[in-house]
């Protein structure tokens, strides 16, 4: 019957939407965790640490160029 086909189709679409919603929720949670980690790293960063990173990245050794 046509109604059976439609009911099966609607069940499949509902399953698809539930799977999609679960994927979105998981992605949202992961983005939230990245945001928390980024915020923590920003709060942990001090001027001294930034200067130390700058000096280490520009370090050329003791010999004169």
Q: pLDDT tens digits, residue range 1-11?
A: 999 999 999 99
Specify the pLDDT at position 14. 98
Helix (H, G, I), strand (E, B) or coil at 57: helix
pLDDT average, residue stretch 9-20: 98
The reply to whether the predicted model has a pTM over 0.75 is no
Please state the domain extents for the chain.
2-58
Distance CA 3, CA 1 (A): 5
Residue 65: pLDDT band (50, 70, 90) is: low
Distance CA 52, CA 50 (A): 5
Residue 25: pLDDT band (50, 70, 90) is: very high
């Amino acid at each position: 019957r046509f109604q059976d086909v439609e009911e099966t189709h609607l069940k499949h679409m509902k399953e698809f939407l539930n799977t999609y919603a679960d994927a979105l929720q998981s992605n949202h949670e992961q983005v939230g965790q990245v945001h928390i980690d980024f915020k923590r790293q920003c709060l942990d960063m001090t001027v001294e640490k930034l200067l130390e990173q700058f000096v280490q990245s520009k370090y050329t050794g003791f010999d004169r160029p």
